[in-house]
Amino acid sequence: MDRAAGRREDAAWLRAAWERENTRVLPLAEGRTHVSEEPGGWRLALVRPRDCPPDGTRYFLGTDHTGAAYFAYATGWLPAPPTGTARVAALDDGAYPLGDRDHGMLVHATALENWHRTHGRCPRCGDPTTVEGGGHVRRCEACGAEHHPRTDPAVLMLITDARDRCLLGSRTRWPAHQYSVLAGYVEPGETAEAAVRREAAEEAGVAIGPVRCVETEAHPFPGSLMLGYEAGAVSSAARADGSEMAAVRWFTRDALAHAVRTGDVALPDRRYLARRLVERWYGGPLDPAPESAGAPWTE
């Protein structure tokens, strides 16, 4: 998928693209859409522009290799899907895993819908804003200010000590058996690397040495970019702060595999960067025994 950013300001082209027979639309109603199961797996149940209800707002997502245009359409209710076997799903619904292209489209559309829903007025003067730029700009009708979707950087860090154990934490708002890597938002004027060190010190009392970014992930809830780091601890001293973290624990590979297998520890769903960081350190998948497996969680 080519996001075709150069077309966003071409209102005539966007209008013509909306009328084309090969244009496809991803309807969204508060983050939910239709998916359908096909021989290759689950796919977005895209519709034609004429199938969309009249009350929505369209956002241009891009074009494919054939030149066909794709739009998201934010509306109060979902139009009938093109197949009777379609299911209603959302981006954080792990029951219907999508391929890379469709997942990317849904991330893009969800991020735009979340932003538009909360930015109807100008943060500079308070007057109403209107949608421009194919859904990627809001312009204030009074002061003329342009506003663009924001992305908030957040860091996730897989911390290891000199014995190559990994440090995982359980947040105070989670059930006691749910563990993940440490994480936090990058503050104003702060580098991502500094945020890794600050969050590790604040949440677990751990001093950090070298850090390395290994993977990133778009996470539009409401509009974050997750930066995945591997970090080396200066020492193995660690303690939960009691405010955000209820517990922090060092795990060897064998200890973590056993805890996951028995259900004593639940990790985030495999769709998320936090889980991939843990399994990257472990060297493979970490799965509970069938009798210990519970519902996936998304934090």
Q: Where are the domains of the chain?
A: 5-147, 152-282
Q: What is the pLDDT of residue 36?
A: 93
Topology, domain 5-147: Nucleoside Triphosphate Pyrophosphohydrolase (3.90.79)
Span between the terminal Cα atoms of the chain, in Å: 28
In this prediction, residue 237 carries a pLDDT of 94
Task: Report d(CA 143, CA 228) in Å as an integer.
Answer: 39
Measure the CA–CA gap between 250 and 159, rounded to whole angstroms.
9
Residue 162: other Cβ atoms inside 10 A: 10
Residue 194: which H helix or E strand, with range?
helix 192-204
Residue type, 175: P
- The whole-angstrom separation of Cα 111 and Cα 282 is 32
Please indicate whether the domains covering 5-147 and 152-282 agree at the CATH topology level: yes
Is residue 284 exposed (0-12), middle (13-18) or buried (19+ Cβ within 10 Å)?
exposed
Q: Containing H/E element for 182?
A: strand 182-185
Name the β-bridge partners of 34. Answer: 88
Phi-psi map region of 99: left, alpha, beta (phi>0 left; psi -120 to 50 alpha): beta
The pLDDT of residue 293 is: 60
Cβ neighbourhood burial of 78 (10 Å; 0-12, 13-18, 19+) = buried
CA 255 to chain centre: 29
Radius of gyration of the chain (CA): 22
Can you give the pLDDT at residue 271? 86
Output the pLDDT for position 123.
Answer: 93
Rounded to 10 degrees, what is the CA torsion of 94, 95, 96, 102? -10
In order of 24, 50, 58, the CA distances from 67 in angstroms are 11, 19, 18
What pLDDT, on the 0 to 100 scale, is given for residue 295? 52
pLDDT score for 294: 56
The CATH code belonging to domain 152-282 is 3.90.79.10
- Cis peptide bond N-terminal to 222, omega within 30: yes
Which residues, 6+ apart, have CB-to-CB distance to 126 below 8 Å? Answer: none
In terms of Cβ atoms closer than 10 Å to its own Cβ (0-12, 13-18, 19+), residue 296 is: middle
What is the per-residue pLDDT for 39? 87
pLDDT tens for the chain, 299 residues long, are: 999 999 999 999 999 999 999 999 999 999 999 999 988 889 999 999 999 988 899 999 999 999 999 999 999 889 888 777 899 999 887 778 899 999 999 999 999 999 999 899 999 999 999 999 999 999 999 999 999 998 999 999 999 999 999 999 999 999 999 999 999 999 999 999 999 999 999 999 999 999 999 999 999 888 899 999 999 999 999 999 999 999 999 999 999 999 999 999 999 988 899 999 999 999 999 998 876 665 555 55
Q: For residue 235, how far is the Cα from the chain centroid? A: 32
**In angstroms, rounded to a whole number, what is the distance separating the alpha carbons of residues 252 and 168?**
11
Q: Which amino acid is at 100?
A: D
Return the pLDDT at 214. 98
* DSSP at 181: -
Grouping H, G, I as helix, E, B as strand and the rest as coil, residue 14 is helix
The closest alpha carbon to 141, from 165, 124, 116, belongs to 124
Task: Output the DSSP codes for 78-123.
Answer: PPPPSSTT-EEEETT-TTSPBPHHHHHHHHHHHHHHHHHHT-SB-T
